[in-house]
């Protein structure tokens, strides 16, 4: 007999040896046998327990939970068969090995032993070398069975949590094989969809032909199946995703193996989030994000003779806060609803949106600029009539601006900004309406001056960086900062980034300036790390930089030159930038992330990209746009959007940073909704590096949390 059976007394748990000795329970009414078992197996590293009869053996099993049992058949009080049956009841599905000790010629006892739940048997008189080997292999088999059981339980839990099931389809018979637990997943009995035709019969009519073609293509050309469809059962509908591919060996090559996942809740949540993200909760009008999309869509279709131009108008209700102060916020909301309804009624052939608290925008398509301007004037005239509020008549005053496609701008965002700029000019000048064309000439001249001065700014060291701190809510400490570019003109002083960054982009100077920003941010990150206060530094990357093939080299070279860890550098991209060339962007960001850089997506939720596509990006951080934070304390829609974003982030194990936090109440709300970090004036405005160091030195979390 080998003497290494003690090796069976160690098991592997999570990759580490468990050195606790195996426990062996011997149940036998013969004291000599019990003593001999104890002596032999104690010397081999076992912990040996003994019992004199079946009843005592069951009790000892329940108390000690042994790893293996040696059970005699014939004993007083309770025989081995009954004891084995009771142990199996206590053991549930653990599969503890039970080796029965039977007479050598007692065939019936051997059969009864297996019926009772025995794992193996050894005939008396006992062959000690043989029983040692039997115990060794029984323990090994038991461990393998337990591991298989754990794997099955893990797989079952994973499938249940992910609402995932597996299926097999035979293209020849067109029949399906489904798992037993798939009924709840698909919303109906799997037996009623045992063939492709019967599955299609429960498929939404709009999805049916597409589904049939997908399965036929997989069967005919070994094409991977990727399919999303709606299954319908007695008025109930489930949205499921099917994936599958042909087997790769033997008979499996004639069948398709796949998975099905219930994504109903995901799709419905996404639809709700999409709606809330694009509509105003109070008036039901589209918001600024949706309006920008409508401008872009309409601009793309302006090729018909009847609609050769498009006007975008911006309307701001003057001093609207006085209505809330005088009549109450409820009456103010009622008035806003009436304004929205009147604009919608007076412009049934155009688009209306609420783009701010007391600001509205309209879109008008017309054969020419004159006609479009006339229609806008008619819309404004509709607002001159009184509004009934609290049994009285109320008048609103306003200022308005307009911009025309092609005449003033060709980009949707520019068109909207120009209309808003014209409205501001009308308000400042006390006029009813101003056209963007009136201010365009002055704007162009100013732009040329700025462009000329920008070309000398970098060489003359007129640029510097400021850093806006980011606080981790759970720990109440500053963990990062966003690096922001500033231009200090020797005569004009600080120039707004809104004035010069678009010019840097347009002229291509952003490449040199952007490289300087990356290098300077890396140098500052190194200084803080060396000082013992390492901070994650966020660096904004511009669209123009991503067009350059050497962007990766610029980033890597700057990091190496500064000697800073790439893990302290977070590269920020916007959602709209990410979706310009998503496949190339994903590849580049994956490469950067493999080098240790963190990836953040800025202004999340204000674009209109596919959420499912967007989440293929390798993201470490999702920055929630300040537009969702501004009204989070009183707008349920914005709270729902922020909560949805935090759930998305948790799903992909990403950090969330809420931007624009200015008040303690906003901070409390976003923390309750699951946001990880905050950035905004509540923590600190953008500041110089030495000012941020001073802030960190005596920093205490606002609100005392």
Give residue for tokens 């850093």.
467
Instruction: Provide the pairing of β-strand 351-356 with 225-233.
Output: unpaired
* pTM, two decimal places: 0.46
Q: What is the DSSP letter of 389?
A: E
Give residue for tokens 């802030």.
695
pLDDT digits (tens, 9 = 90+) for 504-527: 887 888 999 999 999 999 999 999
Angle of helix 80-91 relative to helix 54-64, nearest 10 degrees? 20
C-alpha 414/C-alpha 421 separation (Å) is 10
Q: Which stretches within 347-489 are classed as H helix? A: 369-382, 412-429, 437-457
| CB distance 464 to 488 below 8 Å | yes
Chain CA centroid to CA 456, Å: 43
Instruction: Provide the pairing of β-strand 536-540 with 493-495.
Output: unpaired
Q: Is 426 helix (H, G, I), strand (E, B) or coil?
A: helix
Report the CATH number of the 458-704 domain: 3.20.20.450
| CB distance 457 to 517 below 8 Å | no
C-alpha 522/C-alpha 536 separation (Å) is 10
- Determine whether 661 is exposed, middle or buried from the number of CB atoms within 10 Å of its CB (0-12, 13-18, 19+): buried
Q: Which two tokens stand for residue 504?
A: 């840097």
Dump the DSSP string for 176-226.
EE--GGGHHHHTS-GGGGSBHHHHHHTB-HHHHHHHHHHHHHHHHH-PPEE
Q: Which two tokens stand for residue 663?
A: 């008040």
Q: Is the peptide bond before 125 cis (omega within 30 degrees of 0)?
A: yes
| CB distance 259 to 158 below 8 Å | no
| CB distance 90 to 61 below 8 Å | yes
Q: Is 545 helix (H, G, I), strand (E, B) or coil?
A: helix
Q: Domain 5-154 classified CATH 2.60.40.420? A: no
Q: Domain 162-262 classified CATH 3.40.50.620? A: no
- Could you give the angle at the alpha carbon of 697 between the alpha carbons of 692 and 700, nearest 5°? 95
Task: Domain 272-435: give its CATH superfamily.
Answer: Reverse transcriptase/Diguanylate cyclase domain (3.30.70.270)
Residue 292 Rama label (left phi>0; alpha psi -120 to 50; beta): alpha
pLDDT of residue 684: 93
Distances (CA, A) of 219 to 110, 196, 231, 240, 277: 52, 12, 22, 20, 41
Dump the DSSP string for 14-41.
TTEEE-SPPEEEEE-S-HHHHHHHHHHH
Residues in contact with 326: Cβ distance below 8 Å, sequence separation at least 6, in sequence order: none
Dump the DSSP string for 303-330.
TSTT--EEEEEEEEETTTHHHHHHH-HH
Q: What is the DSSP letter of 544?
A: H
Closest CA to 404 of 445, 440, 379: 440
C-alpha 612/C-alpha 616 separation (Å) is 7
Q: Which two tokens stand for residue 624?
A: 């929630």
Q: Which stretches within 92-204 are classed as H helix? A: 107-116, 128-161, 183-186, 196-201
| Straight-line distance from the first to the last Cα atom of the chain, in angstroms, rounded to the nearest whole number | 68
pLDDT of residue 308: 74
Which strand (E) or helix (H) includes residue 397? none
Q: Is 95 helix (H, G, I), strand (E, B) or coil?
A: coil
pLDDT of residue 16: 38
Distances (CA, A) of 452 to 74, 216, 508: 105, 63, 13
Residues in contact with 351: Cβ distance below 8 Å, sequence separation at least 6, in sequence order: 286, 291, 294, 298, 362, 363
Closest CA to 4 of 134, 136, 128, 186: 136
Fold equal for 5-154 and 162-262:
no
Question: How do the domains of the chain map onto residue ranges?
Answer: 5-154, 162-262, 272-435, 458-704
pLDDT digits (tens, 9 = 90+) for 278-312: 888 888 898 888 898 888 888 777 655 455 788 99
Angle of helix 510-530 relative to helix 551-562, nearest 10 degrees? 30
Angle of helix 497-507 relative to helix 437-457, nearest 10 degrees? 70
Which stretches in the chain have pLDDT values below 50? Answer: 1-19, 305, 608-610, 705
Strand ranges (E), 511-595: 536-540, 569-574
Number of other CB atoms surrounding residue 482 within 10 Å: 25
Q: Is 640 helix (H, G, I), strand (E, B) or coil?
A: helix
Closest CA to 544 of 574, 504, 596: 504
């Amino acid at each position: 007999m080998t003497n290494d059976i003690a090796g069976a007394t160690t098991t592997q748990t999570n990759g580490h040896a468990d050195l606790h000795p195996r426990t062996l329970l011997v149940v036998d009414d013969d004291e000599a046998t019990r003593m001999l078992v104890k002596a032999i197996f104690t010397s081999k590293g076992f912990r040996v327990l003994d019992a004199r009869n079946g009843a005592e053996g069951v009790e000892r099993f329940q108390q000690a939970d042994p790893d293996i049992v040696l059970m005699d058949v014939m004993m007083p009080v309770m025989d081995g068969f009954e004891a084995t049956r009771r142990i199996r009841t206590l053991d549930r599905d653990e599969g503890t090995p039970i080796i029965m000790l039977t007479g050598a010629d007692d065939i019936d006892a051997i059969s009864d032993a297996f019926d009772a739940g025995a794992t193996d048997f050894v005939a008396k008189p006992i062959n000690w070398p043989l029983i040692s080997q039997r115990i060794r292999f029984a323990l090994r088999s038991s461990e393998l069975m337990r591991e298989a059981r754990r794997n099955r339980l893990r797989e079952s839990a994973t499938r249940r949590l992910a609402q995932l099931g597996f299926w097999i389809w035979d293209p020849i018979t067109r029949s399906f094989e489904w798992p037993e637990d798939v009924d709840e997943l698909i919303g109906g009995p799997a037996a009623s969809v045992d063939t492709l035709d019967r599955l299609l019969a429960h498929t939404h009519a709009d999805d049916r032909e597409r589904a049939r073609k997908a399965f036929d293509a997989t069967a005919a050309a070994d094409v991977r199946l990727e399919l999303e469809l709606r299954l319908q059962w007695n008025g109930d509908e489930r949205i499921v995703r099917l994936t599958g591919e042909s087997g790769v060996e033997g008979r499996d090559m004639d069948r398709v193996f796949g998975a099905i996942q219930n994504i109903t809740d995901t799709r419905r949540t996404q639809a709700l989030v999409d709606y809330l993200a694009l509509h105003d909760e109070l008036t039901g009008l589209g918001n600024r994000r949706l309006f920008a999309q409508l401008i872009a869509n309409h601009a793309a279709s302006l090729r018909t003779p009847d609609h050769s131009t498009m006007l975008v108008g911006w309307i701001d209700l003057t001093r609207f806060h006085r209505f809330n102060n005088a009549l109450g916020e409820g009456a103010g909301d009622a008035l806003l609803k009436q304004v929205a309804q009147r604009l919608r009624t007076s412009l049934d052939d155009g688009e209306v949106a609420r783009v701010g608290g007391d600001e509205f925008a309209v879109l008008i398509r017309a054969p020419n600029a004159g006609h479009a301007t006339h229609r806008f004037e008619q819309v404004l005239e509709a607002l001159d009539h009184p509004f009934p509020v609290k049994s009285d008549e109320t008048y609103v005053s306003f200022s308005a601006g307009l911009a025309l496609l092609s005449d003033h701008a060709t980009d949707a965002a520019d068109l909207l900004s120009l209309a808003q700029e014209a409205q501001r000019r009308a308000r400042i000048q006390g006029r009813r309406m101003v056209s963007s064309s009136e201010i365009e000439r002055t704007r162009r001249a100013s732009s040329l001056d700025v462009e000329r001065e920008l070309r000398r700014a970098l060489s003359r060291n007129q640029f510097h960086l400021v850093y806006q701190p980011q606080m981790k809510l759970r720990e109440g400490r500053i963990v990062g900062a966003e690096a922001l570019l500033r231009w200090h003109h020797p005569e004009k002083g600080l120039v707004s980034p809104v004035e010069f960054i678009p010019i840097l982009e347009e002229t291509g100077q952003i490449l040199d300036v952007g490289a300087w920003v990356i290098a300077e941010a890396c140098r500052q990150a190194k200084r803080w790390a060396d000082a013992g206060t390492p901070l994650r530094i966020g660096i904004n990357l511009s669209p123009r930089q991503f067009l350059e093939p050497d962007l990766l080299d610029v980033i890597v070279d700057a990091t190496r030159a500064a000697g800073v860890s790439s893990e302290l550098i977070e590269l920020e991209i916007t959602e709209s930038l990410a979706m310009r060339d998503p496949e190339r962007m994903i590849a580049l960001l994956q490469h950067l992330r493999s080098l240790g850089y963190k990836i953040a997506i800025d202004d999340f939720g204000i674009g209109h990209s596919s959420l499912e596509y967007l989440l293929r990006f390798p993201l470490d951080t999702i920055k929630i746009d300040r537009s969702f934070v501004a009204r989070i304390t009183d707008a349920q829609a914005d709270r729902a959007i922020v909560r949805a974003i935090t759930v998305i982030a948790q799903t992909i194990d990403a950090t969330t940073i809420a931007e624009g936090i200015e008040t303690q109440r906003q901070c409390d709300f976003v923390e309750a909704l699951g946001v990880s970090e905050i950035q905004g004036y509540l923590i600190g405005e953008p500041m110089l590096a030495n000012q941020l160091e001073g802030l960190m030195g005596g920093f205490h979390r606002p609100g005392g949390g």
